[in-house]
Amino acid sequence: MLLVELFTQGLVQGSIYALIALGLTLVYGLLRILHVAHAAFFTLGAYVGILVCNASGSLILGFAAAMAIAGCAGVITYRLAYQPLLDKPPFVALIASIGLYIASEEAFRVFFGAQGISFVDPPLQQQLLLFGTIRLKMAELLVMIGSLAIIFVLSRLQNGTRLGLACQATVSDPQMAESFGISLRLVRDLNFFVGSALAAFAGVWVALLNNLVEPTMGSVPSYKALAIIVLGGLGSVRGTLAAALVLGVVEAYGTIYLGKLLDRNAIAFAFLILVLMVRPQGLFSRR
């Protein structure tokens, strides 16, 4: 039964990675920029979620505020930091992005303090027993369901609406998309909004699971999400989701069986390095 429980824990962690990595993939597919600062919206979401939930007593309001504020912050970041750099070589935007992330950590420290904040009365902490065998916190169950639901809805919107189609066309060939009347600006704003809102969604869940939000909570997920999108074959949404779940599960098993040798993050990165040595094009790359 330990195996099944570990697998479940892996999926919980994996769905959080998936939510974060999805936004990175969207940005990479659209602009070919490695958006390191993406993790700042994960942290921002977590702070807003806790603060709003503590103030209002409503977790749903916390989620809504976190996603809306992080989404708008994402669009503003795109307009101010990336848009002016689009005709420069991609490393210029990458450097800007790294700088932004570091600045964001310091900003969180200044505004919210270095020691971190918690929920006054953390919701969704009750223990469940699934199928009589799997012990799970309510929040852990909901993060899996919530991620699945949100990814399902997004993929339906992507494939079933004209706006989704316009996004796909823009990823495929921006110039031609523009020639058929698609506003690149609208598509890019939308992608930054959705990607950042997803990161914030993940941030609030992590806040719930750990009952702690710190200025630096985004740094490790940020590196991991970068590695995940490479593993998923850069720009492929399906590959990213699969890679995120695989990494979550590998981490969960690794922590138990290799825990004496390596810590959780070391296991994750050792796995990523190994895979990329064998398949530098990523696990799920088409080319």
Partner 1 sequence: MLELDSISCGYDAFRAVHGLSLILREGEITGLLGANGAGKSSTLMCVAGHVALQEGRILLNGEDISRLPVARRVHAGIAIAPEGRRLFKDLSVEDNLRIGGLIHPAADFRRDRDRVLDLFPRLAERLPLPAGNLSGGEQQMLAIARALMARPRLIMIDELSLGLMPKVIDLCYQALERLRSEGLAVLLVEQNTERALAVADHICVLESGRTVWTGSAAQARGDATLASAYLGLH
* The one among 166, 198, 242, 247 contacting partner 1 by CB under 8 A: 166
Backbone angles phi, psi at 183, to 5 degrees: -85, 110
Output 37 or 166, the one with its CB closest to partner 1: 166
Minimum distance, C-beta of residue 185 to partner 1, in the bound complex (Å): 9
Q: Rounded CA gap, 276 and 210, in Å?
A: 30
Q: What is the spatial distance between Cα 195 and Cα 22, in angstroms, rounded to a whole number?
A: 7
Please, which residue, 8 or 236, has the CB nearer to partner 1? Answer: 236
Nearer to partner 1, 61 or 169 (CB): 169
Q: Which of 169, 212, 258, 270 binds partner 1 (CB under 8 A)?
A: 169
Q: Could you tell me the two tokens for 208? A: 């719930």
Closest distance to partner 1 from the beta carbon of 188 (Å): 13
Residue with tokens 């940005």: 27
Q: Shortest approach of partner 1 to residue 176 CB, angstroms?
A: 5
For partner 1, the closer CB: 70 or 234? 234
> Smallest gap, in angstroms, from Cβ of residue 281 to partner 1?
17
| Cα distances (Å, whole numbers) of residue 181 to 156, 166, 200 | 23, 9, 31
**Residues within window 135-164 making contact with partner 1, judged by CB under 8 A:** 162
| Residue 86 binds partner 1 (CB under 8 A) | no
Nearer to partner 1, 161 or 216 (CB): 161
Tokens representing 186?
A: 């609208």
Q: How far is the CB of 183 from partner 1 (least distance, A)?
A: 6
Burial of 77 per CB tally in 10 Å (0-12, 13-18, 19+): buried
Give me the least distance between CB of 90 and partner 1, in Å please. 20
List the Cα angle 188/190/193 in 5-degree steps: 110
Q: 184-222 burial, b for 16+ CB within 10 Å, e for fewer?
A: beebbbbbbbbbbbbbbbbbbbbbbbeebbbbebbbebb
Structure tokens at 257: 């069986």
Measured from the CB atom, the residue of 87 and 121 that comes closer to partner 1 is 87
Residues near 262 by beta carbon (within 8 Å), at least 6 away in sequence: 254, 270
Contact pattern for partner 1 over residues 172 through 201, marking x by CB under 8 A: xx-xxxxxxxxxx-----------------
Nearest distance from C-beta of residue 284 to partner 1, angstroms: 14
Q: Closer to partner 1 at the Cβ: 62 or 235?
A: 235
Q: Using the 8-state DSSP alphabet, how is residue 79 labeled?
A: I
Q: Do the beta carbons of residue 195 and residue 244 sit within 8 Å? A: no
Q: Which is nearer to partner 1, 126 or 179 (CB)?
A: 179
Interface with partner 1: number of residues (CB under 8 A): 17
Question: Which two tokens mark 29?
Answer: 């597919």
* Chain positions contacting partner 1, by CB under 8 A: 162, 165-166, 168-169, 172-173, 175-184
